[in-house]
């Protein structure tokens, strides 16, 4: 091949390559894209039709294509389980621990109606998608009801048929001793244990009686009311505690200001500090705790609106540290173990120094009620261990 032939041959190859390259770029720009959203919408409508009209192999192929395009979802997991039960090929190899999340997702959408505006609890959906989801739910519900009589009442197949048929009695199935060693029951147990360890918000009102001891009995008993705000774990509770005690002193007492004694019955005080509770024993309904804390305590000994008098009577308050300890019993009385009512008793170590006046030394006892709530365990599927 001479030089001219080589040049012509090379030029032809180059032009052909450029043409093919340009053509492939254009083709890529107009190439249809298979979107998961479209496949899912079509599958929601097609699978019920295929199940009724076509061989079961067609349904299995459609499920496989749907999963291959979109990945595993609750809707896919649901039909895979039901088809496996129908074909008598059910096995716990069909799912892993994510089945717990999927069961919860199913419970969120199973009662959707065509007029609803929300799909589950996260996404707003258009009417076309919503109608197909409702239709798909009705199909799987009817399929589960058809398969239910064919299953052994002591089997996981029976549990899933009851779940997807929405019989409302699924917990009674898994509670049976024969399911103790199933993967599904173990998934629930482990998930519940993890959720139990997640701290919950804690908010409570507290009210009771402040009872002085020793020389401080001259002050008399005083009601108090306050607020707790913090977190509650599986065994430990941490909170910021604030309360106020009020009502004038039972008897007059003396305070010394500017080398002069004054008689007063004024009394308005409070406490702010940290509080800790440690579970001694109990369960989700009954809880016994050791409690303790520390902070700033005190009360006003004189009250006047006269500015000159206020300057003359300063300091207007007696302040002290307060270290306390005691016990508390709480009854969690709601279904999800959120709200509780408790009773507590504390011994408070204080030092009410009233220099030059009436001796007010004494360590008060507080006895009171606590009414509040811990935030619900709404993490994933945990709903008071309902399955």
Domain final position from 179, 194, 209: 194
Q: Kindly state whether residue 385 falls inside one of the protein's structural domains.
A: no
Same domain assignment for residues 227 and 365: yes
Q: Kindly state whether residue 9 falls inside one of the protein's structural domains.
A: no
Q: According to the model, what pLDDT value does residue 263 have? A: 94
Domain final position from 194, 228, 251: 194
More confident residue, 384 or 204: 204
Same domain assignment for residues 216 and 317: yes
Q: According to the model, what pLDDT value does residue 16 have? A: 55
> Given pLDDT bands bounded at 50, 70 and 90, which one contains residue 358?
very high
pTM above 0.75, yes or no: no
* Average pLDDT taken over every residue of the chain: 87
Domain final position from 164, 194, 224: 194
The answer to whether residue 220 scores a pLDDT higher than 80 is: yes
Range of the domain at 319: 198-374
Domain count, the chain: 2
Residues in contact with 222: Cβ distance below 8 Å, sequence separation at least 6, in sequence order: 209, 210, 245, 246, 247, 267, 269
Same domain assignment for residues 87 and 234: no
Q: Kindly state whether residue 126 falls inside one of the protein's structural domains.
A: yes
The answer to whether residue 191 scores a pLDDT higher than 90 is: no
Q: Kindly state whether residue 18 falls inside one of the protein's structural domains.
A: no
Same domain assignment for residues 254 and 289: yes
Q: Kindly state whether residue 3 falls inside one of the protein's structural domains.
A: no
Distance CA 322, CA 273 (A): 9
| pLDDT per residue as tens digits for the range 63-87 | 999 999 999 999 999 999 999 999 9
Q: Is residue 90 within 8 Å of 81, Cβ to Cβ?
A: yes
Same domain assignment for residues 87 and 219: no
Same domain assignment for residues 66 and 44: yes
Q: Kindly state whether residue 26 falls inside one of the protein's structural domains.
A: no
Same domain assignment for residues 114 and 102: yes
Is 374 exposed, middle or buried (CB count within 10 Å of its CB: 0-12, 13-18, 19+)? buried
Same domain assignment for residues 54 and 78: yes
| pLDDT per residue as tens digits for the range 9-62 | 566 655 555 554 555 656 666 667 788 999 999 999 999 999 999 899 999 999
The alpha-helical segments, DSSP class H, found in the chain are 3-30, 36-53, 56-70, 74-86, 99-109, 127-147, 156-165, 170-174, 183-196, 307-313
Q: Kindly state whether residue 167 falls inside one of the protein's structural domains.
A: yes
Domain containing 360 — which CATH number?
A: 2.40.160.20
């Amino acid at each position: 091949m001479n030089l001219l032939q080589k040049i012509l041959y090379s030029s032809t190859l180059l032009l052909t390559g450029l043409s093919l390259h340009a053509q492939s770029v254009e083709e890529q720009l107009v190439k249809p894209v298979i979107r998961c959203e479209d496949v899912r919408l079509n599958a929601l409508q097609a699978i019920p039709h295929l199940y009724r009209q076509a061989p079961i192999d067609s349904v299995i192929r459609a499920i496989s294509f749907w999963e291959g395009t979109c990945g595993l979802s609750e809707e896919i997991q649901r039909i895979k389980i039901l088809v496996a039960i129908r074909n008598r090929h059910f096995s716990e190899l069909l799912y892993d621990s994510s089945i717990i999340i999927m069961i919860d997702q199913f419970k969120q959408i199973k009662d959707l109606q065509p007029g609803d505006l929300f799909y589950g609890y996260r996404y707003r959906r258009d009417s076309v998608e919503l109608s197909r989801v409702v239709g798909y739910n009705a199909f799987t519900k009817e399929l589960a009801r058809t398969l239910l009589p064919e299953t052994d009442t002591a089997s996981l197949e029976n549990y899933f048929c009851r779940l997807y048929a929405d019989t409302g009695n699924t917990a009674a199935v898994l509670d049976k001793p024969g399911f103790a060693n199933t993967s599904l029951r173990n998934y629930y147990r482990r998930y519940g244990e993890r959720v139990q360890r997640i701290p919950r918000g804690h908010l409570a009102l507290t009210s009771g009686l402040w009872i002085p001891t020793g020389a401080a009995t001259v002050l008399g008993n005083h009601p108090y009311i306050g607020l707790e705000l913090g977190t509650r774990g599986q065994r430990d509770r941490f909170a910021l505690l604030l309360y106020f005690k009020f009502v004038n002193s039972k008897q007059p007492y003396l305070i010394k200001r500017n080398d002069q004694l004054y008689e007063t019955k004024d009394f308005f005080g409070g406490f702010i500090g940290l509080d800790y509770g440690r579970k001694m024993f109990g369960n989700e309904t009954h809880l016994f705790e050791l409690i303790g804390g520390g902070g700033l305590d005190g009360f006003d000994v004189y009250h006047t609106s006269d500015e000159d008098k206020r300057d003359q009577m300063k300091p207007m308050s007696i302040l002290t540290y307060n270290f306390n300890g005691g016990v508390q019993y709480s009854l969690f009385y709601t279904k999800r173990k959120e709200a509780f009512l408790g009773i507590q008793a504390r011994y408070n170590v204080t030092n009410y120094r009233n220099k030059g006046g009436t001796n007010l030394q004494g360590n008060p006892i507080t006895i009171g009620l606590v009414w509040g709530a811990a935030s619900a365990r709404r993490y994933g599927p945990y709903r008071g261990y309902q399955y």
